[in-house]
Chain A
Amino acid sequence: MGAPTIVADGVGKRFQLHHRRATSLKERLLLHRQSSSEGFWALREVDLEIGAGQTVGLIGPNGSGKSTLLKVLSGILAPTTGTVAVRGRVASLLELGAGFNGELTGRENVYLNAAILGLPRRETARYFDDIVAFAELEPFIDNQVKHYSSGQYVRLGFAVAVHVSPDILLIDEVLAVGDESFQRKCLNKIAEFQQRGCTILFVTHALDLIPRICSRGVVLDHGRVLHDGDPVEAAERLRSLLGTGADQSGGAAAGTDRPKVAAVRLFDPASGAGKGHFRGGEAMAVELDVAAPAGSAPVAVRMAVTGPADVPMWVMDSEPLHPGPDGTATVRFTVKELPQIKGIYALAVAVRDPASNVTYDARRFGEAFLAAGDTATGVLEVVWTAEQVEHQVQP
């Protein structure tokens, strides 16, 4: 960790509640007596020290103060209590294209926006072609921005912000905008910034991104720092906060006369203790209850462990299960040794007819378990070697 570039010390931010606010002299006079000091604390005693070159993911439920914290750190809002010290040029992507003027052309807006972000005109001129190329707007750069599509608008905004060579990049959920190819481009750019030693703090709701690109995760809740440290643990912490750790989505309404998924439990097969956070190499057990009408024919269970974008990592099929007299059956899958994977995984389970493979019921347990690693260098950790191959010289 390099010298701290962002130091927040006991930062608190109180907002005046809106219905109390006098916005005109008349109201001011009328409210004179009752103008109270009641307010809403969006941030409370936030201590944060971020070293140069760190990439920190800031997560939390809606309204937990993430955006407020970014605004305070970027100097847009003044903290009510505490102090903020920031070292270096800050590019804050709180809203892409903030400060664009629809009447001006893309070219004019690039110069204006870069000037606002602190870049001298001649430097902007130097980067101009790169900015336009990054935004993929060559044919439209001399059109008025008001005629741009929202995607073009966002691309140009991001392109300018990343080209002002910031020391600190504060990003607020803007990666969610834009199509997939642009998102990939943004992530590549972020990786480039990481290599250059730029400090990055970003807010996201895409929890699977956190272990992938962050070296540290901070969870905010009700304006307080709940967790500050390992990104995978941060994601898990938030998940338990949101109550999405287990049973989350599914289609249990598939009729009452068909076998259904009743419950799923994850635990450590050795101790039998429930667990949601596994490391590569550990053993994992999953028990699944099936509820079928009494006297049902045998059913089979298929369970797929899925990663980002619901790509199945591996699939486990059970033998046909014979429901008991009450129609219930339980199957236990045991993974003797989890592969060295990192990230957040979901379980997709299906109850099927073993004869015809018709699915009776399928459910997805989103973000069912986590597999942690030290750094997010990839999803899989594979044992591999590299050696030089001797060339056979042809006679």
Chain B
Amino acid sequence: MVQAQSAADARAAAQSRVRLELLTELVRKDLKVKYKNSALGFIWSLANPLLYLAVFTLVFDKLLKNGIEAFPVLFMSGFLVWNFFNLATLSGTGSVVGNANLVRKVRFPRVVLPLSSVGFAGVHFVLQLGVLLVVLALFYRDAFGPQLVLLVPALAVVLVFATAMALLASALNVRYRDVEHLLEVILLAWFWLTPIVYPVTYVRDELAGSPWLFRLYLANPMTGVVTAMQRAIYVHPVTGGRQILPAGGYGFYLTWLGVGGAIALALLAAGLWTFRRLQADFAEEL
């Protein structure tokens, strides 16, 4: 009897705990729904970054002639990870509201909804990154070196940061639907405030007179992530006599990744706290 009861307790707990299996199942669902009835299916997920690549290369490389060697590589190394962050945040924001029928009718750990959005974006990112690495292996063989290790901390930070954003925004969005629209605008501005299309060194030179402003600029966790990604993949630190990426070992990158990571962790704690506090009312507010 006691055993049966503890088994029942375990089953009760299993319903409110975040299980990896449930997460995978939800990510699988999102992917299936997205690519159902499309002949090319998953290949479409490559279309968006390719389009951006074409446009930005045309505009900044060919028309504005920024003179950066292998600009497409510099751009993609930052853009893909930004795309992950962007997609995870935006789809995470709508994840609870979008699954209203589930939230109002079924008992399950609500936190899996934003988490599965991050997973959904993550699957796309891994695929896109894989394609990028294949392309690099074919055309930019010299990209592969020990600096690739920087991918590990960079991806860890962006994962935490995106999760934090998704948690926070999804919970707030239930009460204030403005959050979704607000975030779309903010993310657009954020994109341009992150050194994706231009090198971070240009900003450093521009802000040479006000180092604190530059530090503030670098405190954006996505700047740390993007520059580390660029350092890991892009191997032309100097082109045309101009420094593209900060020189001198990995110190700069690791420092700002550390700062970004600390901010991301703090935000994650805030996101979890907010989500926990608000989730009791989700079923009512939807």
Contact = CB atoms under 8 A, between A and B. Distances in A.
Nearest to A23: B177
Interface of A is mostly: loop
A89 B11 contact: yes
A111 B27 CA distance: 13
A71 B11 CA distance: 19
A25 B8 contact: no
A30 interface: no
Contact of A98 (B1, B106, B285): B106
Chain A CB within 10 Å, residue with most, of B16, B107, B178: B107
A167 interface: yes
Interface string A89-116: 1101011001101011000100110011
A98 B12 CA distance: 20
A118 B15 contact: yes
B178 A76 contact: no
A98 B177 contact: no
B22 interface: yes
Nearest to A73: B107
A71 B282 CA distance: 12
B102 A88 contact: no
A295 interface: no
Interface in A1-24: 3, 5, 15-16, 21, 23-24
Contacts of B285: 21
Contacts of B106: 76, 92, 94, 98-99, 116-117
Contact of A5 (B8, B37, B283): B8
A74 B283 CA distance: 12
Interface string B246-286: 00000000000000000000000000000000001101110
A25 B281 contact: no
B15 A3 contact: no
A88 B21 contact: no
A123 to B, nearest CB: 10
A115 B21 contact: yes
Nearest to A116: B108
B33 interface: yes
Interface in B100-153: 101-108
B22 A116 contact: yes
A75 interface: yes
B176 A23 contact: yes
Interface in B33-71: 33, 36-37
Given A78-B281, A98-B102, A101-B29, A118 B5 contact: no
B249 to A, nearest CB: 46
A116 B284 CA distance: 20
A95 B102 CA distance: 10
A108 B29 contact: yes
Contact of A77 (B25, B108, B178, B284): B284
B14 interface: yes
A76 B177 contact: no
A76 B33 contact: no
Contact of A88 (B8, B16, B37, B175): B8
A332 interface: no
Contacts of B29: 101, 104, 108, 112
A94 B19 CA distance: 23
A103 B32 contact: yes
Contacts of B205: none
Contacts of B32: 103-104, 108
B283 A71 contact: yes
B9 interface: yes
A28 interface: yes
Contact of B33 (A78, A101, A121): A101
A238 B26 CA distance: 43
A87 interface: yes
Interface of A: 3, 5, 15-16, 21, 23-26, 28, 71, 74-78, 86-90, 92, 94-95, 98-99, 101, 103-104, 108, 111-112, 115-118, 120-121, 144, 167
12 contacts: A16-B284, A28-B176, A71-B283, A75-B15, A76-B105, A89-B8, A98-B104, A101-B33, A108-B29, A111-B25, A115-B25, A118-B11
Interface of B: 1, 5, 8-9, 11-12, 14-16, 19, 21-22, 25-26, 28-29, 32-33, 36-37, 101-108, 175-178, 280-281, 283-285
